[in-house]
Amino acid sequence: MPNYLNESQIVDLVEGIEVTGSTLKGKMLTWIHHVVLPIKLLFVLSLVFSMARIVTAGEGPYFVTYNHHMEEPGSLELSLSPVWGFPGITSNFMGVSAEIEYGVKGWWTMEFYLQGQGTDGQGALFTGYRWENRVRPLLGEHKINPVLYVEFEDVNGADRAFKEVVGHDSKFDLLEPISAARLTAEREFETKLILSSNFRGWNVAENFIAVKNVKPEPWEFGYALGVSRPLALAASPDECRFCRENFLAGLELYGGLGEWGEFGLRDTSHYLAPSLAWQFQNGTTIRVSPSFGLTSPSIPLMVRFSVSREIGGFTHQVREWFR
Amino acid sequence: MMTAWLLLSQYAASGHNGRDRQLTSELSKVPPEARVRTNPYEGKQDAYLAGRKLFQRHCSGCHGKDAKGGKDAPDLQSPPVRDATPGTLFWFLKNGDLKKGMPSWARLPEQQLWQIVSYLKSKN
């Protein structure tokens, strides 16, 4: 973004925007979009979850960072991940991702996302989809384990999933009303180099991100770093929901690195996000993470939440249905 | 009649033996220095119980609740596993065999992998 408005100009601009949420109808619509729709989605997911026959454990505490641990071959993981954003300079929002992750091979994981969002006083909408592939070129476990990541996404400008931060992404992008932002198509290819290591129970992961819009726009860059560890390294002998080994704590740092020809930290957003995952015996994982904006273009606070369920041996189960 | 019975029993055994041979070949890839590692939890009852719990959570989906194997996963009470050293099993759990469908369990801390090894060795 070449020319930024200063803070006071932005406040003036926001005050000038007509806010429909102040009416009773607007408030009702907001309530429906923020409460009823997620409940419906949870209900549908719970039906799917109840079909699970064989299950294994879920994943780590990261929301933005990827490590080298792939989905088990033939397993399916379903997740619902809302993120609440509190930008301060404009309306609060909730972005939602419904995710389906599948282990094609031991070295290849595929994931498909459907995304939507709701903004206070502005309504809610489906924003698009993304399709990602992760491949491990080195099959064994090494000190540093590389993973290659390729993704295509077709979302509109109103998307609020914040699965990554690149280029000069900033809270000022949110000033555009979603009715206008939705008209902008963002078809992008995203690549990541994921490097990840395990050491004495710790996982350390570094992601280098490069995004290219299919339109003639410059490459945008970003990064994500994560460190995590289970609260206990050895498992306890008893079945227990609150055992320390069922909890993983993590810390993520992610942000933009500018774009081609303007690489660097100037006018970029950066976030620090502690996170916690709670894994259940039945393969369900609950994760939560507040993200704190570190620079002036960053959204001051985002709160992420995720519930996921892994269905082990999914391919085998499907094969049995058609036998 | 006797010949037919012998052929049938040989055919039935060949699937099992084939899987054993494949497993033996996969376990033979484990580096010598990894094979001689000893299990820090050897003989500890708590480790066996924790290993059993972890096995049910992570492994039984493919290998069966009693570790007798499944359609796509080998029997873990078979001779190749019985004869393998704890270090060999630990290395194989950690690295997996991604090409053949065995995932890497490096996501679990080493302590938990050793607990699973304790359980597997006690089964044998």
pLDDT given at position B20: 77
CB contact under 8 A, A106 and B102: yes
Cβ distance of B99 and A136 shorter than 8 Å: no
Is pTM beyond 0.90 here? no
Residue pLDDT, tens place only, A57-67: 345 899 999 99
B37 close contact with A: CB closer than 8 A: no
A283's CB contacts (< 8 A; 6+ apart) are: A52, A55, A56, A57, A58, A309, A310, A311, A312
pLDDT for the residue A17: 45
B64 vs A249, more confident: A249
- Stretch A300-310: mean pLDDT, rounded? 96
Asked if pLDDT for residue B22 goes beyond 90, the answer is: no
Is the pLDDT score of A33 beyond 70? no
Q: What is the mean pLDDT of chain A?
A: 86
Q: What share of chain A is helix, strand, coil (3-state, %, to 5)?
A: 20, 45, 35
**Once rounded to an integer, what is the mean pLDDT over residues A121-134?**
96
**Pairwise CB contact (< 8 Å): B106 & A74:** no
Q: What is the pLDDT of residues A128-163, one digit of tens each?
A: 999 999 999 998 899 999 999 999 999 999 999 999
The CA distance from B43 to B47, in Å, is: 8
Which residue in A has a C-alpha nearest to residue B49's C-alpha?
A: A237
Rounded Cα distance between A232 and A289, Å, is 20
Structure confidence at residue B25 (pLDDT): 83
Q: Which of residues 4-33 of B touch A (CB under 8 A)?
A: none
Identify the pLDDT of residue A194: 97
Task: pLDDT band for A36, please (50, 70, 90 cuts).
Answer: low
Indicate the residue of A105, A230, A234 with minimum beta-carbon distance to B98.
Answer: A105
Q: Do A136 and B98 touch (CB under 8 A)?
A: yes
Residues of A in contact with B50 (CB under 8 A): 234-237
Task: Tell me what pLDDT residue A159 has.
Answer: 95
| Minimum mean pLDDT range among A4-8, A45-49, A213-217, B47-51 | A45-49
Q: How confident is the model at residue A126 (pLDDT cuts 50, 70, 90)?
A: very high
Q: Do B57 and A107 touch (CB under 8 A)?
A: no
Query: B101, A106: Cβ pair inside 8 Å?
Result: yes
Task: State the pLDDT at residue B49.
Answer: 95
What is the nearest CA distance from B81 to chain A, expressed in angstroms?
A: 20
Residue B64 touches chain A, beta carbons under 8 Å: no
The partner residue sitting opposite A236, judged by closest CB among B50, B71, B107, is B50
Nearest chain A Cα to B64, which residue?
A: A54
Q: Which residues of A touch B49 (CB under 8 A)?
A: 237-238
- What pLDDT, on the 0 to 100 scale, is given for residue A282? 83
CA distances (Å), B10 to each of A321, B4, B17, B74, B94, in order? 31, 10, 10, 19, 35
Confidence of residue A318 (pLDDT cuts 50, 70, 90): confident
Range A190-209 average pLDDT: 96
Q: What is the pLDDT of residue A320?
A: 80
Distance from CA of B61 to the nearest CA of A (A): 5
* Stretch A298-323: mean pLDDT: 89
Instruction: Give me the mean pLDDT over the B81-97 stretch.
Output: 93
Cβ A82 vs Cβ A94: under 8 Å: yes
Q: Which residue of B has its CA nearest to A231?
A: B109
pLDDT band, very low/low/confident/very high, at B109 (cuts 50, 70, 90): very high
Q: Please indicate if any CB of chain B lies within 8 Å of the CB of A123.
A: no
Between residues A291 and A18, the one the model is more confident about: A291
Cβ(A277)–Cβ(A248) below 8 Å: yes
Q: pLDDT digits over A236-246, tens only?
A: 999 888 999 99
Radius of gyration of chain B (CA): 16
Establish, for the pair of chains A and B, how many residue pairs have beta carbons separated by less than 8 Å. 93
Confidence band of B94 (pLDDT split at 50, 70, 90): very high
DSSP string, A153-222: EEEETT----S---BT--GGGGGS-HHHHTTSEEEEEEEEEEEEEEETTEEEEEEEEEEEESSS---EEE
Q: Where is average pLDDT lowest: A108-112, A187-191, A256-260, B68-72? A: B68-72
pLDDT of A77 higher than 70:
yes
pLDDT surpasses 60 at B6: no
Cα(A313)–Cα(A292) distance, integer angstroms:
38
pLDDT on residue A132: 97
- Give residues with Cβ within 8 angstroms of A169, minimum separation 6: A222, A256, A268, A269, A297
Q: Note the pLDDT of residue A26.
A: 57
Give residue A22's pLDDT.
46
- Residues in chain A within 8 Å Cβ distance of B107: 59-60, 69, 198, 203
Q: What is the residue whose two structure tokens read 């931060």?
A: A165
Specify the pLDDT at position B2: 54
Instruction: Say if the Cβ atoms of B115 and A235 lie within 8 Å.
Output: yes
User: pLDDT-based confidence at A18, cuts 50/70/90?
Assistant: very low
A136 interfaces chain B, CB cutoff of 8 Å: yes
Q: Please indicate whether residue A57 or residue A97 has the higher confidence score (pLDDT).
A: A97
